[in-house]
Amino acid sequence: MAMRTAIARVRGLGSAKTGTEHWWMQRVTAVGLVPLTLWFVASLVSLAGADFETAYLWVASPTGSLPMILLLLAGLWHGKLGLQVVVEDYIHAEGVKVAILMLLSLATVALGVAGVFAVCKISFGE
Amino acid sequence: MATAQRPLSPHLQVYKPQITTVMSITHRATGIALAGGAVALVFWLLALASGPEAFEVAQAVAGSWLGYLSLFVWSFCLFYHLSNGIRHLVWDMGYGFEIPQLYASGWVTVGASVGLTVLAWVVGLMGLGGH
């Protein structure tokens, strides 16, 4: 035990140089997504068959845009963490794995920026 | 990586499927499907932001038989992943690990996801006339 330095004990990180952040953030986003998904499904159900005007005004209103942005961010983050584990579990060729994980990170950010941009454009009008 | 054809330990194929294992892999499968749903949601928002013409196209895609099928599958995936995700969060707090509890919570999760899917579609389709 005395082999570990004080700072190593404080940080609580092992030889992997990382802690429980992946696992923990998956849970944090999961808890946030419980109310957000319920809101999302309820909204879609009430919007079934809606025309452009109705859908547009829904996303434009603060009660539509704010939860939508939160849903996009929490959902994409949660999905990125989940898919990362799937890739790490099933892809064993190191080069392919790193490439897919990189692509996953880039796609997550691209989708998040595109989604939030769309909501902002609708909210602010043009 | 290993090159020799060495004997491996028995893997999944030697085990009889049980509700615990089947629900576990279903959680992962529904999660992967929902990532595809997230991509669709972003495209739907982009279409809405682009204007009525692009939105018409998006609604036509969503309203096709393939669109309806995808939405139906995604809705079940969402309710399953949500219900089973809550089951996971309860485990994370340290509860429900006895075998009878695992089976009970498993069936409750399956029932809730099927029930919520049917409920959402019945209410959604009934409300179609409202718009």
Question: What ipTM does this complex have?
Answer: 0.89
* 3-class secondary-structure state, position A89: helix
Structural domain harbouring B109: 35-130
The model's pTM is 0.89
pLDDT of residue A1 exceeding 70, the answer is: no
Question: Cβ A118–B42 below 8 Å, yes or no?
Answer: yes
CATH number at residue B118: 1.20.1300.10
d(CA B27, CA B80): 7
Q: Which of A30, A49, A114 sits opposite B85 (nearest CB)?
A: A30
- B100 occurs within a structural domain: yes
Mean pLDDT (whole number) for B60-72: 95
For position B80, what pLDDT does the model report? 98
Cβ within 8 Å, pair B131-A50: yes
B122 touches chain A (CB under 8 A): no
> Residue B45: inside a domain, yes or no?
yes
CB contact under 8 A, A118 and B131: no
The pLDDT-based confidence of B10 (bands split at 50, 70, 90) is confident
pLDDT above 70 covers a percentage of chain B that reads 95
Neighbouring C-beta atoms of residue B10, cutoff 10 Å? 8
* Structure-token match 């089976």, residue found: B103
Residue pLDDT, tens place only, A34-90: 999 999 999 999 998 889 999 999 999 999 999 999 999 999 999 999 999 999 999
For the stretch B41-65, pLDDT in tens is: 999 999 999 999 999 999 999 999 9
Dihedral over Cα of B26, A45, A107, B54: its sign: positive
Which option is the CATH number for A21-124: 2.60.40.420, 1.20.1300.10, 3.40.50.300, 3.40.50.880?
1.20.1300.10
Q: What is the pLDDT of residue B8?
A: 78
pLDDT attached to residue B3: 65
Residues 6+ apart with CB under 8 A from B33: B73, B74, B77
Per-window interface: B 66-85 vs A, CB < 8 A: 75, 78-79, 82, 85
User: Does pLDDT of A124 surpass 70?
Assistant: yes
Q: Do B131 and A31 touch (CB under 8 A)?
A: no
Which member of A31, A50, A119 has the closest CB to residue B45? Answer: A119
B85 belongs to a structural domain: yes
Kindly report the average pLDDT of chain A as a whole number. Answer: 92
Tokens of B48: 């809405």
Whether B50 maps to a domain, the answer reads: yes
| B14 within some domain | no
Asked if the structure places residue B57 within a domain, the reply is yes
Rounded Cα distance, A72 and B38, in Å: 8
- Which pLDDT score, from 0 to 100, does residue B62 have? 93
Amino acid A55: pLDDT: 95
Q: How much of chain A exceeds pLDDT 70, in percent?
A: 93
The vertex-B9 CA angle with B3 and B14, nearest 5°, equals 125
Residue of A111, A113, A123 to mutate when probing chain B, most B C-beta within 10 A: A111
Range A90-115 average pLDDT: 97
Under a CB-based contact definition with an 8 Å cutoff, are residues A50 and A70 in contact? no
Total domains present in chain B: 1
* Contacts with A125 (C-beta within 8 Å, 6 or more apart), sequence order: A60
Residue A46: what residue type?
S
Sign of the CA dihedral B5, A90, B90, B101? negative
Tell me which residue of B30, B111, B44 sits closest to B75, measured CA to CA: B30
In a domain, B87, yes or no: yes
pLDDT beyond 60 at B2 = no
Contact B82, B110 (CB under 8 A): no
Position B1 scores a pLDDT of 54
